[in-house]
Every structure is written in C-alpha cells, then in structure tokens.
Structure 1
Amino acid sequence: MRNWVATTTIRNGRKELDIDRSILDVFKGACAKYSDRPAFSCLGHTLTVGEIDTLSARFASYLQHHTQLKPGDRIAVQLPNVLQYPVVVFGALRAGLVVVNTNPLYTHRELKHQLNDSGAKALIVLANIADTAAEVVAETSVETVIVSEIADLHSPFMRTLINSVAKYIKKMVPEFFFARQVRFREAMALGARKPQRDVERAPEDIAVLQYTGGTTGVAKGAMLTNRNLVANMEQVREAFGDSMKEGEEYYIAPLPLYHIYAFTIHCMCLLASGNHSLLIPNPRDIPAFVKALKGQRFTGFVGLNTLFNGLMRNKAFSELDFSKLRTTASGGMALTRDTAKRWEEMTGCIVMEGYGMTETSPVVSFNPIGGVQLGTVGIPVPGTEVKVVDEDNNDLPNNSPGELCVRGPQVMKGYWQRPEATAEVLDSEGWLNTGDMAVIQDDGYIKIVDRKKDMIIVSGFNVYPNEVEDVVSTHPKVAEAAAIGIPDEKSGEHVKLFVVKAGQPLTEKEVVDFCRENLTAYKVPKQVEFRDDLPKTNVGKILRRELREEELNKRETVSA
C-alpha cells in the first residue's frame, strides 16, 4: 500500500494550470478582466478592482520616486483589515519590494525583533497602533514610516467623520512621534504626480516574508515566493471548484489579511477571480461585526472555530439572511463537530475544514464540497504530496499515526537568513516536516491526531511555549518556567504558566503584568502556578507533556 497520497499535476479540468507566474502577473490579469467589479468593502465604502489598480500604482510611484527603496528591499505592513491593506501590498509588490506582514498586536519586543530580523527599510502603520512602533523604530533599520488613518480611502466627508470620531470621540488614536514620517494621503498625492513602473519579479523571487515560530518559539520569516503563493492560489481555487464562481462571490473576511491564510483567500483567490470581500477590521467586537453583516447577502464565509462560536451566541446573527451562503471555510485551529453541526443548522451551510501552515503558503489539504468528512482536514490540494513518518523519518503505511510531511509547489523556499533552521524541517528532496501528528486514511483523507507537540492555539493564533518561557525567564525573580495550553470554551485554549521562583517573593499578578509588557495579549497566561521544581528528562529538558497530562487528570477527576 502506498504510504502517501498525492495529486501530482495541478489541473483545471483538462488544462494544466500555470503556476510559473508572479503575483503581479495575476494582479494585472485581474485588473484587465474585472476592472469594474467590486473588490473590497470596509466601513461602508467599496473599492473596485480598477480602483485598487489605480491606487496601488500611486503607492508604488511614491515608493519609487520619494524613497530610497530598491527592488528586493523589505517593507513592513502593520495594518488590520482596512482598504489600505490591499492597496499598500499590491503597490509594494509593483515596486518590486518584499512584503513583511506585521501583526498590529505586536508588543515593542516582538515588533523590534521582526523589523530587525527582516531588515525592513520601510513601515506603513495604522495611527491607532503607531505608538508601539514609534518607541522602537529608531532601534531598527527602518528609514521611512508611513502613517495611515482608518478611513483614509473613504470619500472626503466620510473620511473626516470616521477619522475624527476615532481620534477625538472614541480616543482610539494614541499620541506618537516619528522623526521621519509621511501621512498615507500625502504619499498617495505625491505618487499621483509621476508615473510608476511595474517591476517584474521572477516566480522564484521572494514576495512575502511571513513570520512564524515554526516548531520553536524563535520568530522566523518564512520566505514565500511568487510561485509558492500563485501555486497555492490555483490549488485552493481548484479545491473549491464550482463553489468559487468567477465574478459572483461575496465573501466575509474577518480573519486578518496579515495572516497568510486570509491573504491567500481574499487577496489572491477572490481578487484573481473578480470576486468581492467584506473586510472586518475588528472581529472581536461581535455586535459591530454582526451589524456590518446585516442586509448583506454573502455567498462565502472564512473563519475559525472560536469565531463561529462567538457569532452563534449572538441572537442578531441567527436573524441574518443566509439564503445565498454556500461556502464556509474553516482553518487556523481545529473545528469541533459540535460547532460544525450548529453552524450548519443555523446557516444551512456545511463547514469545510482544511489544514495548512505558514510554511506551505498555507493550504495543504481541504474538505471538498460534496465530500466533507467531519473530524478530518480533507484531502491534499492538487499538486501536493503527503506522507507520515516515524521518529526515525521512516515512511509509515496508511492508517498509522506519524509526523505529517508535505511536498508541493506551495512549500516555502526556507527561513529568512536561517539555513540551519531550514535544514531542520526541509530536506533535499523538498519534503517539509510539519511537526503535526496525523493519520492518512485509505481514502486519502487526513486526520490530525495531535498538533505540533507543544504549540498552543489561542483563538486561531499560534503561541509557542518557548517564546513565553524565554520572556518570563528574564524576570529576575523567576528561576524556571514552562507554558502549556489549557482547553478554553471561548478561545479554544489559553496559556497556563508553571513558575519556579528564584528564591524571592513573587505573585501571580507580577508575572502576568510582566508578560503583558512583553507579549501580545493572546500570549499572556491566564493561569500561573508556582512549583518547587518542574518535571525534566535525564538531560534536563522540561517535560511539558507531563504537565499537560497532570492537567488532564485534574480535569477528569473534577468531571467525575
């Protein structure tokens, strides 16, 4: 029996798909074919594909004529789901730059690390979160800072109204100062004065640096090439099949575009096929989210387990019009059977779960429409090979649990400036070790039986214990620390921290406050337990597995 499942040729019907293109080639093709189609809407305003074309050209012109940036330089984009995001990203790509997607929730430490590690020479940031960047940018290689306000691409009246409310009434814009900065609207005005020149990039050139902890807590930039992203776009479109019709779809986009999953779906697949996305800037505000959906007849919804649950607990959500909804895609964290069934009962739409990771651009497998198997992550998308291996990297037969390995055109080029880390996960034959434990069934469907051994997933966000532990261990009163994930009804999991004191009095509040200063909110532990010592191997490695088993036994005892 074959020990891997593969679809080795990417085809659309009988025609082999062209993956040896750049993102710019795809974008220009969409602009030529779908210029009048709506592309992105946000806060009551819509930009067509043609307007994205025009505006991104202006941004590219600004970068080319008014900065020192050259093709191949990195630009950090720290924006939530607002209309500026696609304009900036496609403008940067048109200028030949490499996009560094940057989480708006980053702390000073996290942002400083990413800017320095990537060598970003420019940063575009939303005013609402610019205070963090303002405190660290002088310690980085960033030379140009562009600041945007939330409604900068709206009509003059609505722009003034929304930006003023955000700044003066809701007090959402903090004080900040950059020694060298330009306002986004000023940059766009300057860019409109001179023609831009699209910089052609080869399929193998890096388009995006997407930061991830991989299988460790050290944030590394996955080098995603034009070919990687175009291939995954074609793979996803093929996997969606007739459920993603050209020019007829209206998808809800609550997942952040700075995550590669949402980027691939909304900025690649949907834009390339002339379809429309409704951007949700803050999906955590469920009442405002539901209000934005009212009256909208959407055909697709991309989300994850905790978001589905949060929406279904809102009475107004159940009263929305789901008559056109025919596609719901889930990724980022495990989809529970209960959530999937309740979603289908409420909306009439089956949830299709998939699997992927940053290093695979990101989609590896997907449950096809008409063939959904709950509890699995579907079958490999076209052109993707998968296998499972044992601890010695020997291939295992179907139905045997082992580490999932992936090979295909969507697999990253490697980690930015980290050849050793690349060699740990990517072999000479192109196989990527995912770190996830899986079973491949005889029918080709994949079942994930355990995640990356220690990774914690909080509301779809990856939390790497090493990172949390490294931060906590810098506290002078902490001798040792270990972090694990604890089941959480709202967020899927939350972080629990075990701490050994360094001989001085230390409180839970001190630990949590220290974490809040140095970690993004979803990484901050909700529980802190002090211990005299931590379980270790004979060579001194902390056994997080034993800590997880202890917690599981506690829960089982309580429930009994």
Structure 2
Amino acid sequence: MPDTVMNAPGAAAEKLWLKSYAPGTPAEIAPLPYRSIGDLFDLSCGKYATRPAFTCMGKSLTFGELDQLSARIGAWLQSIGLVKGDRVAVMMPNILQNPVIIFGILRAGFTVVNVNPLYTPRELEHQLKDAGAKAIFVLENFAHTVEQVVARTAVKHVVVTTMGDLLGLKGLIVNLVVRRVKKLVPAWSLAGHVSFKAVLSAGAQTTMVKTSVAPSDIAFLQYTGGTTGVSKGAALTHSNLLSNMAQIELWLETAFVRRPRPDDLVFICALPLYHIFALTINALMGLSTGGQNILIPNPRDIPAFVKELGKYRFNIFPGLNTLFNALMNNADFQKLDFSSLLLTLGGGMAVQRPVAERWQAMTGCPIAEGYGLSETSPVATANRFDTTEFSGTIGMPLPSTDIEIRDDDGNTLPVGEIGEICIRGPQVMAGYWQRPDETLKAISADGFFRSGDIGFMNADGYTKIVDRKKDMILVSGFNVFPNEIEEVAMTLAGVLECAAVGVADEHSGEAVKLFVVKKDQALTEADVKAHCAANLTNYKRPKFVEFRADLPKTNVGKILRKDLRDKPAG
C-alpha cells in the first residue's frame, strides 16, 4: 500500500517526547565532528594516551598502547593485500585482543564482521559466506569450528590468538590453565594460519596507510535475525555509529545531575563486544569519553564475575534482565560497594519490574531501560539517566530520532493505541547486506525502520513495549502478551526465571504455557497458578506450567521463547 500523506517524508507525528526531555537536552544532535570512527580513535588516543582503555584479568591497555597495537593490526591487514571495504571477521569473547583487532580493522579502512564465538559450524559458514569475509581472527578455543568450514568460504587468512597473548608473563600461566587444566581448547588444525603475536610483529615492520573513510562507508556487518529466520547482516555505517554515540553522549549528561561526573569513567563490560549493545555502549562510548572498560570474558561464571567487580569502583553498568537477576542471587554481590555506581543501563530484553526494584534496593541505583536493535546501532529510545525510579517503559526517542506507532498498513496510530514501533533517525542502518528485498520490507519509503516490536506511546512521549509480533499469543481472539505474564510470575517469591509461550489448544486456538525455573524448590504448579489467577484476567492465565532446571538463552542471556515453542517437551 502506498504511503499516506501523513507518512510522507518529513511528516513525522508531533514530537510529544520533547516536553519530557531533561532541561538543556537538545532535540537534535549537532553535525558530526568526525568522518569516521578512525578519526575519533586518533583524537581520543591522543587526548587520553596515558589512561587505561581496556582491562582484562588484571592487565590494562592504555589508550596509547591501544593506538600502537591496533595500528600494527591495520598495517598487517593492508600488507596481505586487502583493499578498502573488505570484510574481516572477529570471533572471540571479551579479551584485550578484541578491541585491538576491531579498531585496527576500522582504522585501516576495512569492515568488521562480528561473530559469536559459540556459533555452530553451520551458523559460522553461513555468516562468513554471506559477508564474503576475506580474513578471520579467532581465539584458539574456537579454532576447531573455523577448521570445519573455512575451505568452503572466501576466507584466505586465519589469525589464531590465545587467551594469554596480551597478558604478559601471566599469559603463560593463563594459557596453561585454559589448555591443560580446564581443557577448553579442542584439538584443531588450520593449514597456513598465522599467530596473533606473529601478526603484531609483522605489523610493527610496516606502516599503516591512512585510508580515506567516508561517513557512508560500512563499519560493521552486525548479524541479526538468527532466531527468527535466516541471519542477515545489518550494514552499519561509520555515520550510523558516530550518530548514536553523539545521541547517547547528550543523554549521558543527565546521569551527572545528582552526582558529579568522575574524572575517569569506569564501565563494566560483561556483555560480549560482538553484540551491538556492548559494542556501542562500552567500546565506542568508552573510546569517546576516555573511559576504562573492565572486560569480563565469561559473565556466566557469576562467582568469578562478582570477585572481579569487587576490585573496581565502577560507574556505568550495562546489562540484561537475566544478568541483573543472576547477580542479585549471589551472596557476595550483595556485599559489594555500589557507592560509585551512577548509571545502570537495561537493554536487550524487557527489564522486569520485580528485578528492577530489587536492583535499586540493593545497589541504590535505578535501572534506566533503553531500547534498540542491531539495525539501529542500537539505541533508539531510553529513559532519562537522571531517573530516580524504574519507569516500566523503554523511555523516549533520543535526539534526532522519531518514533511512530503504526498499524499493518503503515498508518500512524493515535497516542495510547497499540501498533508496531517504527524508528527513524541517523542511527538507522543503511540496509541489510546484499538483501535489497529484506531492506525494502524493513524500511518504509519515508525512512522508518519497522522494528517488529509491538507497543504504544503515552501522552508524555514514553513508549511501552507490549511484545514482539511473533511472540504474541492469541487466546479465543484476545491478544495475550508474554511480557505481562512473565512480569506477574516474577513477583512470586519462589520464581527465579520464567518464560511464557503460546501452545495449540483445541478450545481457544492457543493457550498460555509458562516455563518456570524455581528459586524455592517447594514451589508447586498450584502456587504459580493461584498467583497468576490473583493477578491476571482469565484468558491470560497460564493453562500449563512446566518446571525446568534452566531456560534456553542466547549467548547474551536473552531467553529464547522460540526454542520453548519449538521444543516444548522436556
């Protein structure tokens, strides 16, 4: 259907949210002062040369060292014949090599392809082929996966690093433990591979050529949609990411209203850098602000994570609902000093009110929930960072961002009505890599990205997500949103985690099934159903309750409802 007059370019709905902005926060970002992330990198490394940029397992790299090491990576990539725009894959967790490699790739004029190191061979092969990656950097723990597929891809150069490569003498011990004690490195063989240390040595013998990178050049191929269909690469330009950083920086100023801005910001980077949330909020915002990022290679090891947290006076803590919940159930976490914590950012999935309220009571810091997607670099909306309580919404559009709630025909809906959340702004991707058909489906003629998320905007300009289109449950003609059921269930003391899905039902078409992980082993199905009956209208109540030892999650910690729907038994 053609766009209506209401949806013509530039004819966004009234920007209700501007009246709710913090005093002094502008409606638009200023023109970008940099053409590329490399330009920003050069400036920041010069300005903050002696400050720690990234810290992992007790070892820090200063901005000056990050500058030197990444230049060697860039020089080596240029020396092997790659040309501007070539794609280079990075497959590793949060270790010091990760930012060194990423910034080296960007500075030399190439495009980063972030790869989840836990991918199966099938998933890895698809992504490398789709991106047309010419080279890959991989941690040895995952080299066996690369070995199985590399011959069927365009990859000609494989660089293998070890966990201890940038840890100095301590690295020898770390490698011994990883390989021999914990046995975390499956056997692998990659003919012609190069070691990370050999790359650094070779890169030091040559000079990286300054490449002219335009704002419209692609910085990252950020793959998404793997849980909903074929994984697609969101083409994020240098301008997309720099714009999002500028938007977040304006928002960040409100975090220092109640307490002064520290001289040196310390970020906790527990979410993986290959995920867009950590990539922008941690790596790029750390670069921009001269902040120190504490890299956590394995946040699922909660005791080790908490021990690491105890070593630092941290200020900014991005995380997911599941991570906050897991941390608060650790006795040692409850004893930490949170006096320096200025900002807790929730994203990636809905933050549940019981979790948010408990976090604020425990840390003294409210969770400011934000919202975005890989396709929006990622942040599109956020609650004010001077918030004193959890709002239960995803906040307001950032400066230079428009949000409209639209129906299935693309018409803008009135305030308070539920429809698809659509986003327009300088952070919206250029499109899906080599998928013009998918790009056309995702971005309307007037530039709005169709998020696939369902929600409404209130009169103050705050948006509330009620669910993903695909997760909505239809019970006897009534729309039931899993988030609401899960939020209610989480207020029951004996529930640790839960997920609601729709299952076929001969009477109502679909019925609600609730999967529960117990915190209290005495919890029964009757307890759960009684609690839900007291808080939910009849058609929203779970007809079935199944207890599980754990719930399927992405590597970032997002619960996979799809897996529970596809494999409900067990």
Structure-2 change in CA distance of 1:403 and 1:202 (3 Å)? same
CA contact (8 A) 1:24 1:200 kept: no
Report the equivalent of 1:166: 178
> Does the alignment pair 1:375 with 2:392?
yes
Report the equivalent of 2:214: 202
Counterparts of 2:208 and 2:456, CA distance in 1: 50
Structure-2 change in CA distance of 1:33 and 1:169 (3 Å)? same
Structure-2 change in CA distance of 1:387 and 1:330 (3 Å)? same
Structure-2 change in CA distance of 1:452 and 1:240 (3 Å)? farther
Counterparts of 1:446 and 1:341, CA distance in 2: 20
Which of 295, 306, 326 is residue 279 of structure 1 equivalent to?
Answer: 295
- AA partner of residue 294 (structure 1): G
Q: TM-score normalised to the size of structure 2?
A: 0.79
> Does the alignment pair 1:398 with 2:415?
yes
Which of 55, 75, 81 is residue 68 of structure 1 equivalent to?
Answer: 81
Counterparts of 1:169 and 1:266, CA distance in 2: 31
Which of 432, 437, 452 is residue 415 of structure 1 equivalent to?
Answer: 432
Write the deviation string for residues 66-117 of structure 1: whole angstroms up to 9, x where unpaired. Answer: x221110000100110100110000001111100000011001100000000
How far the C-alpha of 1:183 sits from its partner, in A, is 0.4
Report the equivalent of 1:307: 323
CA contact (8 A) 2:87 2:110 kept: yes
Report the equivalent of 1:535: none
How far the C-alpha of 1:346 sits from its partner, in A, is 0.8
- AA partner of residue 334 (structure 1): A
Q: TM-score normalised to the size of structure 1?
A: 0.80
Counterparts of 2:281 and 2:83, CA distance in 1: 28
- AA partner of residue 111 (structure 2): V
CA contact (8 A) 2:321 2:351 kept: yes
Structure-2 change in CA distance of 1:361 and 1:246 (3 Å)? farther
Report the equivalent of 1:332: 348
| 1:444-463 correspondence runs (5 A) | 444-454=461-471
What SS is found at the alignment partner of 2:240?
Answer: helix
Structure-2 change in CA distance of 1:230 and 1:400 (3 Å)? same
> Does the alignment pair 1:361 with 2:377?
yes
Structure-2 change in CA distance of 1:214 and 1:243 (3 Å)? same
User: Any stretches of 5+ residues in structure 1 without a counterpart?
Assistant: 466-481, 492-514, 532-560
| 1:42-441 correspondence runs (5 A) | 42-65=56-79, 67-155=80-168, 157-213=169-225, 216-243=228-255, 245=261, 247-371=263-387, 372-441=389-458
CA contact (8 A) 2:254 2:384 kept: no
- AA partner of residue 429 (structure 1): D
Counterparts of 2:559 and 2:392, CA distance in 1: 26
How far the C-alpha of 1:61 sits from its partner, in A, is 1.1
Structure-2 change in CA distance of 1:404 and 1:152 (3 Å)? same
Write the deviation string for residues 286-305 of structure 1: whole angstroms up to 9, x where unpaired. Answer: 01111111232111111110
Counterparts of 2:87 and 2:116, CA distance in 1: 15
What SS is found at the alignment partner of 2:85?
Answer: coil
User: Any stretches of 5+ residues in structure 2 without a counterpart?
Assistant: 1-11, 473-481, 487-498, 502-509, 520-551
CA contact (8 A) 1:388 1:440 kept: yes
CA contact (8 A) 1:7 1:384 kept: no
What SS is found at the alignment partner of 1:105?
Answer: coil
What SS is found at the alignment partner of 1:207?
Answer: strand
Write the deviation string for residues 102-134 of structure 1: whole angstroms up to 9, x where unpaired. Answer: 001100110000000000010000001111111
Structure-2 change in CA distance of 1:489 and 1:199 (3 Å)? farther
What SS is found at the alignment partner of 2:281?
Answer: helix
How far the C-alpha of 1:26 sits from its partner, in A, is 1.1
* RMSD, aligned CA: 3.0
How far the C-alpha of 1:146 sits from its partner, in A, is 0.3
How far the C-alpha of 1:367 sits from its partner, in A, is 0.7
Write the deviation string for residues 268-319 of structure 1: whole angstroms up to 9, x where unpaired. Answer: 1121111111000000110111111123211111111000010011101111
How far the C-alpha of 1:321 sits from its partner, in A, is 1.2
Deviates more, 1:51-60 or 1:239-248: 239-248
**Equivalenced residues, count:** 480
